[in-house]
Structure 1
Amino acid sequence: MITVMGAGAFGTALAVSMARVRPVRLWAHDAAHIAEMQRTARNERRLPGVPLGENMTFCSELETVSKQDIILLAVPMQRLRAVLEAHQGAFGQAQLVACCKGMELSTGQGPIGIIQEVCPKATAAILTGPSFAADIAKGLPTALTLACGDNAAGPTLQQSLTTPNLRLYRTSDTTGAELGGALKNVMAIGAGVVMGAALGDSARAALMTRGFAEMTRMAEAVGAEPETLAGLSGFGDLVLTCTSDQSRNYRFGLSLGRNEGFDPSVTVEGAATARAVHAKARALGLEMPITAAITGLIAGELQVEQAMDMLLSRPLKEE
């Protein structure tokens, strides 16, 4: 059995895709939301206009699962630990696949580290890469990275989670996969700021390129493989989220660049992650000036003109 925990847009889209080929259970903490989806076969709150498949069932409670069960954790990054702690008695030796991207603000940990800490008997994996919920739900072709440090469990998960429109590439480099997904959200905010402030496509291309250099720098510093960052979970996701207003992080950056307000009910994973990444970079002694500038903008400590001057006045060097 595959269970998707989290009935937001992305979790619902994954459940819809999986349900085309196998039974899927969709969990949400809100019992009223579950009742609404059961009644209407829709999730109009989070993914309007998409019919929920006949293979889908819904629940707000989770009974004990077996070690053969796959749990997709499609909850916001900053809530992942709380969800795991609330259900750790049920998970046991289940296969837990994080579908969120970012760093925990309080600890600087990624999803894999949190799973291993809270549920040490479970198999930990992460599903990440360039993907929008709307595309997945519509059955459009999407390629993702599945990272699992257990080389026996990884191929089984890859087979189980592949659908007609989801093609999964496997890696054992969980550190690189989760860092790529976390850091690209920070750069997507920066790309949105550039475009919102009308600094131009050339400036966005420069930010993406130098931002990718920062992503690789941090990943290598913590033992990740640079090839992982050059793949779907790093470069691929960076391109998508820095160039499309379907990205919440990019839209949040647009609002910063335009000096406009942003809907506080919309989850922007990159905002908290930027602070966590900036703190981690300082602890590691890493130079990450773009991350520092974006963090300052989010905190209201910098204006766009100040951030731009700070970056453009840095010493000249070889690429």
Structure 2
Amino acid sequence: MLAHAGTIDAVAGFQIMAKPEATIAAGDLAQVEDLAVELARLAGAEIVNALGGLLTIRYKTAATGDELWRDPVSEVDHNVETLIRARVAERFPAHDVIGEEMDDRPARDHDIVWAVDPIDGTSNFINGFPMFAASIGVLHRGRPVAGALWCSASHALRSGVYHARHGGRLRFDGEDVTPRINPAVRTGLAGIPDAQPSDGGWDGRKTGSAAIECALTAAGILRVARFNAPNIWDVAGGLALVQAAGGDIRQHGEDGWRPFERFVPEATAAGVADLRFWRHPLVIGRPEAVQRMCGRPEFASQGPEAASKRPDSGALTRR
């Protein structure tokens, strides 16, 4: 259901309102969050069971010259996304799904889209480096309205699921999370794709997983995080967490850094517009930290084209 006065069409148990500012009603959104949490836990269980085994792995980009093999995909990525898609189709058959590993779109252009990354940080996962996540994000007309991220590491020093929905609180395995900043800590941590010993006063960290960094930013461990050109499945779930925690999100466009509102379909070279092709620089975090990061001169004019040509562009999706 959508909380809004206007024309109503029943679609898969939801009331779809005619006006663009309509939102999903609280009761239905709670069901969406519950399923997202279930799927994140399912993905986490599959990841844990497979960790340390001899996995079948392929690479989307082969090594050429001095370039490394990039974008690994394991059999677990594919299997987990298959499971997630089946559960979404069973519970909400009219909803669309955008997944990293499969191009299938069951309901293209539907108002509600599930953006799924079965393993964010696959390079970490296949090498046994314990920083990876399974990310489930739910969008309504491009706006993040729910997210659930199973993370291999957390503020609680254990794996678990960070989750939230629009209008709700950030939670970890069902318990409220209240980000706290210790005023005695003079130098806060920042997630940055091109980590340096000092990054404008921030103590930089590069985890290899955009989803992990979204979750840790929402939880207050990272005060700010910057992504050069993430894919929609990398951050859709995490942005819902950041918003629930009271954080700020900025997106870079032709007119510089502006508040993020929604994901907008991007056109390919063939002229086909699709949410799948959205890629823009983002900065997320506590409002004052985001303002400070976006105000840095070297990032003030950074656009997606420039980011994709940077020497560190291989880390853009934090695989």
TM-score (norm 1): 0.30
TM-score (norm 2): 0.30
Structure holding more strand per residue: 2
Structure holding more helix per residue: 1
